[in-house]
């Protein structure tokens, strides 16, 4: 019995240490960003009234970063909420140093992944605004493309931030392209490609569906995504009892009920989860991830059970899952088989269903690459694929090559 007591004591001490370290890092992260964010606050203050013309650039200033082959700027531009109300989004624009062609430069609209909803997590307000752009941003500058990046309405600007809500994300993406066209030195044309990672992959795939309706004056010619959070119910159903549940769950809880006010929370999310949702949603991803790991190690779940088993949650998840794109919209998707966040097999299911529906899908399967590195590792292939689309070359399908992963088989 004495041995058992010592073992139990050791387990408790380890758990307490993990939590203490996690929360210590959280406090440190908060203290190191307060001054920087206070200095940036005025830039992100929306005008009153907000201009009605979508894509209006409210203000712009140089970014203190080195962009090979180009120059980066922080901007505040007018976008739109799903109900039609104008709103402001922060963002960035990267302009090549080379002369623009007569027809204007091609545009790539970059949509970032899940970072946390807080001001300090916002890419254009971040201490590392070029995160996830290695291996492709400089190459796009060399090719003479304008790259514009939305922060999404409500990240770094007055909220709410509508996380994994297609009707918000796609508006922010297409309005960022409109904003690029309103920057004289960018000389941006009307043709663009949507390119995103994780949540941004969800954004880019949905932009493929909605761009023509939202911005008929623009020409979306292709869509690319790295580790897209696409098959939402499959991802949520697999990840709800893991640390990912503590990272993604709070952002969903802060977002989906805004659009779906009847979505039940009690009985779906634990009391502990609800008590910490707002705070965790506004923590940046690494800090939230540390806390998620600590809480999971302590046996704490964010959700009571699989939320997809709740009919209302399953319905919303399905509504926010992009259906297969039509054959005239080329799609490139990169996915790692080692991804522990957006698991590989749901995007294997996507490949099967989209190919069966006739989508013009080119799938790049990677091995031994983490979720956060997928866009970086796939970057050169993405640049090459987009270059072919801008050049008017036909896109090839890879549907004859089956996905290397399959959905797990349930056992009793």
Report pLDDT digits (tens) over 9-37.
Answer: 343 334 434 444 444 444 444 444 788 89
Quote the CA–CA distance of 359 and 324 in Å, as a whole number.
6
State the distance between the two ends of the chain, measured CA to CA, in whole angstroms: 35
Question: Hey, is 136 helix, strand or coil?
Answer: coil
- DSSP string of 341-391, one letter each residue: TTTHHHHHHHHHHHHHTT--EEEEEESS--GGGHHHHHHHHHHHHHHHHHT
DSSP state, residue 71: E
Overall average pLDDT of the 121-136 stretch: 96
Q: In 98-197, which residue ranges form alpha helices assigned H by DSSP?
A: 137-142, 166-181
**Structure confidence by residue, pLDDT tens digits, 68-95:** 999 999 999 999 999 999 999 999 999 9
Overall average pLDDT of the 344-359 stretch: 99
Question: Hey, is 285 helix, strand or coil?
Answer: helix
Question: Hey, is 137 helix, strand or coil?
Answer: helix
Question: Which pLDDT score, from 0 to 100, does residue 409 have?
Answer: 82
Does residue 102 have a pLDDT over 90? yes
Overall average pLDDT of the 341-348 stretch: 99
In sequence order, the β-bridge partners of residue 364 are 334
Overall average pLDDT of the 87-107 stretch: 98
Quick one: CA dihedral 244, 248, 253, 257, positive or negative?
Answer: negative
Question: Which pLDDT score, from 0 to 100, does residue 394 have?
Answer: 96
Largest alpha-carbon pair distance within the chain?
82
Question: Which pLDDT score, from 0 to 100, does residue 411 have?
Answer: 53
DSSP-derived pairing of the beta strands 331-336 and 361-366: parallel
52 by Cβ neighbours in 10 Å (0-12 / 13-18 / 19+) ranks as exposed
Confidence label for 7 from pLDDT (cuts 50, 70 and 90): very low
Confidence label for 354 from pLDDT (cuts 50, 70 and 90): very high
* Mean of the per-residue pLDDT values of the chain: 93
Overall average pLDDT of the 143-164 stretch: 98
Question: Which pLDDT score, from 0 to 100, does residue 31 have?
Answer: 40
DSSP state, residue 307: G
Quote the CA–CA distance of 193 and 130 in Å, as a whole number.
19
DSSP state, residue 394: P
Enumerate the domain spans of the chain. Answer: 2-37+232-317, 45-231+321-390
Question: Which pLDDT score, from 0 to 100, does residue 10 have?
Answer: 42
Q: What's the CATH architecture for 45-231+321-390?
A: 3-Layer(aba) Sandwich (3.40)
């Amino acid at each position: 019995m004495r041995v058992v007591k010592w073992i139990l004591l050791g387990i408790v001490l380890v758990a307490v240490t993990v939590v203490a370290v996690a929360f210590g890092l959280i406090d440190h992260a908060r203290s190191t960003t307060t001054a920087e964010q206070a200095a940036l606050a005025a830039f992100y203050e929306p005008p009153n009234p907000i201009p009605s013309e979508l894509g209006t650039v409210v203000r712009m200033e140089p970014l203190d970063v080195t962009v090979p082959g180009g120059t980066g700027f922080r901007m505040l531009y007018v976008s739109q909420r799903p109900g039609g109300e104008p709103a402001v989004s922060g963002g960035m624009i990267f302009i090549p140093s080379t002369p623009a062609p007569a027809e204007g430069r091609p545009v790539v609209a970059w949509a970032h992944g899940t970072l946390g909803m807080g001001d300090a997590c916002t890419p254009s307000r971040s201490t590392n605004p070029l995160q996830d752009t290695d291996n492709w941003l400089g190459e796009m500058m060399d090719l003479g493309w304008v790259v514009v990046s939305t922060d999404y309405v409500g990240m770094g600007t007055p909220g709410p931030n509508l996380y994994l809500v297609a009707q918000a994300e796609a508006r922010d993406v297409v309005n960022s392209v409109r904003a690029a066209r309103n920057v004289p030195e960018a000389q941006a044309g009307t043709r663009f490609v949507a390119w995103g990672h994780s949540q941004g992959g969800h954004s880019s795939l949905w932009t493929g569906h909605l761009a023509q309706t939202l911005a008929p004056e623009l020409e979306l010619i292709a869509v690319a995504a790295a580790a897209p959070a696409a098959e939402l119910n499959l991802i949520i159903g697999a990840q709800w009892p893991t640390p990912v549940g503590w990272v993604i769950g709070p952002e969903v809880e802060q977002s989906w009920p805004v659009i779906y006010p009847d979505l039940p929370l009690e009985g779906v999310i634990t009391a502990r989860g609800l008590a910490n949702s707002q705070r965790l949603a506004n923590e940046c991803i690494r800090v939230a991830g540390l806390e998620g790991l600590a809480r999971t190690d302590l046996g704490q779940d964010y959700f009571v059970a699989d939320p997809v088993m709740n009919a209302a949650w399953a319905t919303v998840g399905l509504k926010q899952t992009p259906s297969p794109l039509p054959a005239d919209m080329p799609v490139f998707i990169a996915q790692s088989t080692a991804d522990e966040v957006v698991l590989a097999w749901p995007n294997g299911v996507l490949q099967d269903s989209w190919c069966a529906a006739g989508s013009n899908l080119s799938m790049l399967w990677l091995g031994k690459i983490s979720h956060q590195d997928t866009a970086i590792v796939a970057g050169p292939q993405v640049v090459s694929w987009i270059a072919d689309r801008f050049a008017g070359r036909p896109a090839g399908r890879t549907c004859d090559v089956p996905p290397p992963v399959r959905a797990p088989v349930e056992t009793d």
